[in-house]
Structure 1
Amino acid sequence: MPLASGHTVETLQEEELQRHVEIFKGHTTGLVRLIPGRWCLPESYVKFADALYNFKFRETDVMVITYPKCGTTWIQEIIWTMKNNPNLDNPKAATLSKLRVPFLEMDALKISRNSSLRDHEPRMFATFKTMCPGRDPDDGIQLQMAEVMPDPRILKSHLPLSLHNPDLIDTTKVVYVARNPKDVVVSYHHFMRLLKCHDFVGSFDQFVQQFVDDDLYYGPFWLHLKEAWEKRDHPNLHFIFFEELKANNIVELRRLNKFLETNLTEDQLQKVARHTSFSVMKTREEKIQPPEENAAFKKDIAMTDGGSYRKGEAGDWEHHLSREQQEKIDQWTARNVKAFGHSFPYSP
């Protein structure tokens, strides 16, 4: 039976699944591909797929959508601050950003049989019990927190547009962030090594190959971008490039201010820019939850290579990708950019 989105589910079988779990030690619940698109997700996603597709958005919402490691945490903090804390006097700013901005499909990504938000996210579970008294956490902790959260809601997802309610961008404002795939693969590799529920143990070369073969969660990368790029002229979709947000921060904040209709003053925008700079965000979040104390992280990697906040730079790929890996991604990019039908900034 197809999902509410119209996709059919193909479960990865023995040989293909075995190749995957040999390098992703944390992925123990199986994998699926959703057709059309060949979207790669853990099998546990299927339980929540229809609820996510049918999620009721409000006109007052702002929805952040990105492929993983494209600046999601940064843009959600920018938007939350613009909407809720432009004068930097909101006490809720001292709480973890993931408690203020629900990650809609987080419960749907129970990648490991031993992975539970109740165990490795105790603050989130405690917040859920306060916000959703009497509700069953097995029906989705983050999803239900999002349902009861008061306006204005800032929500986020890594799912492509085709797996969301088709009324999404006609109902509410959507901010989509794109990033150079070379930096994405470097950041995603760190993330997959860092989190216990992924526990990537393969080589970096294997990870690059997984990326270009569309065998990482939320892939295919280029189709994810293409779906949003084709909607970029919709009045409710704001398309941002990570590199431009980094290089021309205040200019991009002004554009976002206009799109969100937040009507902030120049002084307020400057405050937002400082408050959401990488160094300030990193210090603030790591003071609330030090990476070495995060139960979801592999402590040795958090201590040596950093936690969720690694570098936040554009162009860091130059220090990590070999010439052969660069060429592989360039060729893959050139093939896929053709599908956009016009020039795209990531052409090699």
Structure 2
Amino acid sequence: MAENVKVLDVEADVEKKLATHFGGPKRAYAYFGEDKYFIPKTYKNHADGIRRMPLREDDIWVATFPRSGTTWTQEMVWLINNKLNYEKAADSRLMQRYIFLEFRSFLTQEIIDELYSNQAESHSVFVDYKSLVNAASPRFFKTHLPMPLLPAQLLDTARVVYVARDPRDVAVSYYHHNKLFKVFGFTGDFKDYWEFFKNNQVEHAPFFAHVKGAWAQRNHPNMLFLFYEEMYKDLPSVVRRVAKFFEKQYSDEQLDKLCEHLTFDNMKQNAAVHPKWLRESADGAKVEKFFRKGANARALSNPREVTRTLPAFKDEIRYLMEEEVGHQKSYSLDETQQRIPLFQVCKSGGWRDYFDDKMAEEAEDWIQSNLRDTDLRFPEV
């Protein structure tokens, strides 16, 4: 039987610092496991149960540190394991096809009532892991939990696809995510956020312990370790690797069609990937319960509206609509009908637009320091 997960309270000065920069509903944090993963304290009531939860041999898991290519990978993995059934995928939301394992355990009931009560379409993500015994097979799981907090027998039982991404790009994307979503409500600038990120004070940190924990298991026959940068540079090769990992055989023509389906232009228009509250609103009603004030649902579905009505959140919407898909193929029109690359900041290596020289040097030193004890290296883009 798996040992109980070690839990320590976060220091008072850290909690105080968080309160000055994160304006969302107050949430207490704790350190979980030997690597002191920074996770909402509510998870304390679930950590041991998830470590011991029953598994099935046909379970399929997609695991990542947040903002590392989760959505992109989920769509690819699900289709490969469902006979490339695009019609079925289009008829069911990605959040309904996958169980977001820890989501419910990170939130208090008060936060759910305050922020999610009118998001009926989102309620499927509030499943309690204890009820999963009744879920039909095969079960598809999405998780941002690190390997030491996942079920102890996971790799000996089920198959796992883990995706890693350059931490500098992760930090930029996570920054936009934390600014836009009201559950976080980050109020600082990117320099402020970078301090939290590199000091392991954002959810699921420390980043390197998270990634290296999976990297150490990369040769296990039930683990496929991917890099976001590989998907960005050569998606067809990655698609073929994933198909081989799951022992699925498709023709080159079928896999080429899948790659086309997974391009950025197609993914951002995919209603099954982007929930209705993200893409559109019939009456243009605000969804301020979920997003920071000023984020209009109709604007989220129309990049032109982003530039016109939501200038304060333009960058945040870019990353939200990108949903971790990095292909720079989409353009929008501003009021003067000039073509502008609205989504260019989402490309791999886009972190360079956010780090000044001093920050870039500091980040490089931080990365190298954390890679000294491993042969893990992030691909160049």
Q: Name the TM-score, length of structure 1 as normaliser.
A: 0.87
The question of 1:104 aligning with 2:111 is answered no
| Deviation by residue 1:176-220 (Cα, 9 ceiling, x = unmatched) | 001011110110001111111010112211110111111111011
Residue 297 of structure 1 is matched in structure 2 by 291
Task: Map 1:186-201 to 2 at 5 A.
Answer: 186-201=172-187
How far is the alpha carbon of 1:227 from its aligned partner? 0.7
CA separation of 1:5 and 1:29: change in aligned 2, threshold 3 A: farther
Task: Map 1:225-244 to 2 at 5 A.
Answer: 225-244=211-230
| Deviation by residue 1:220-273 (Cα, 9 ceiling, x = unmatched) | 100111111111111100000000111111111111100011222222212221
Alpha carbons 2:165, 2:378 under 8 Å: kept: no
The question of 1:26 aligning with 2:60 is answered no
How far is the alpha carbon of 1:299 from its aligned partner? 5.2
C-alpha separation between the residues in 1 aligned to 2:118 and 2:207?
A: 28
Moved more, 115-124 or 24-33: 115-124
* Counterpart pick for 1:246 among 229, 232, 237: 232
The question of 1:344 aligning with 2:377 is answered yes
CA separation of 1:329 and 1:298: change in aligned 2, threshold 3 A: same
Alpha carbons 2:67, 2:173 under 8 Å: kept: yes
How many residue pairs are counted as aligned between the two chains? 332
- Aligned to 1:78, what secondary structure does the other structure show? helix
CA separation of 1:118 and 1:141: change in aligned 2, threshold 3 A: farther
CA separation of 1:278 and 1:159: change in aligned 2, threshold 3 A: same
CA separation of 1:82 and 1:43: change in aligned 2, threshold 3 A: same
Percent sequence identity is 28
- Aligned to 2:46, what secondary structure does the other structure show? helix
CA separation of 1:113 and 1:260: change in aligned 2, threshold 3 A: same
Cα-Cα RMSD: 2.5
C-alpha separation between the residues in 1 aligned to 2:242 and 2:224?
A: 8
The question of 1:168 aligning with 2:133 is answered no
Alpha carbons 1:197, 1:296 under 8 Å: kept: yes
Task: Map 1:1-348 to 2 at 5 A.
Answer: 5-90=3-88, 92-110=89-107, 113-116=110-113, 119=117, 121-125=119-123, 127=124, 141=127, 143=129, 146-285=132-271, 286=274, 288-291=276-279, 295-298=289-292, 300=294, 303=306, 304-305=314-315, 306=317, 308-310=320-322, 312=326, 313-340=347-374, 342=375, 344-345=377-378
Which structure has more RCO (C-alpha within 8 Å, separation ≥ 6)?
1
Alpha carbons 1:87, 1:268 under 8 Å: kept: no
| Deviation by residue 1:291-347 (Cα, 9 ceiling, x = unmatched) | 57554222535542316223632111122222222112111101000121x352369
Alpha carbons 1:85, 1:93 under 8 Å: kept: no
Alpha carbons 2:230, 2:379 under 8 Å: kept: no
Alpha carbons 2:33, 2:149 under 8 Å: kept: no
- Aligned to 2:117, what secondary structure does the other structure show? helix
Moved more, 300-309 or 232-241: 300-309
Q: What letter matches 2:361 in structure 1?
A: E
**Runs of 4+ displaced beyond 4 Å:** 291-295
- Aligned to 1:59, what secondary structure does the other structure show? coil
CA separation of 1:110 and 1:257: change in aligned 2, threshold 3 A: same
How far is the alpha carbon of 1:169 from its aligned partner? 0.5
CA separation of 1:121 and 1:148: change in aligned 2, threshold 3 A: farther
How far is the alpha carbon of 1:56 from its aligned partner? 1.8
Moved more, 19-28 or 101-110: 19-28
CA separation of 1:7 and 1:149: change in aligned 2, threshold 3 A: closer
CA separation of 1:5 and 1:28: change in aligned 2, threshold 3 A: farther
Residue 311 of structure 2 is matched in structure 1 by none
C-alpha separation between the residues in 1 aligned to 2:118 and 2:373?
A: 40
- Aligned to 1:124, what secondary structure does the other structure show? helix
Q: What letter matches 1:109 in structure 2?
A: F
Q: What letter matches 2:35 in structure 1?
A: G
In structure 1, stretches of 5+ residues that fail to align are 129-139
Q: What letter matches 2:356 in structure 1?
A: S
C-alpha separation between the residues in 1 aligned to 2:108 and 2:199?
A: 20
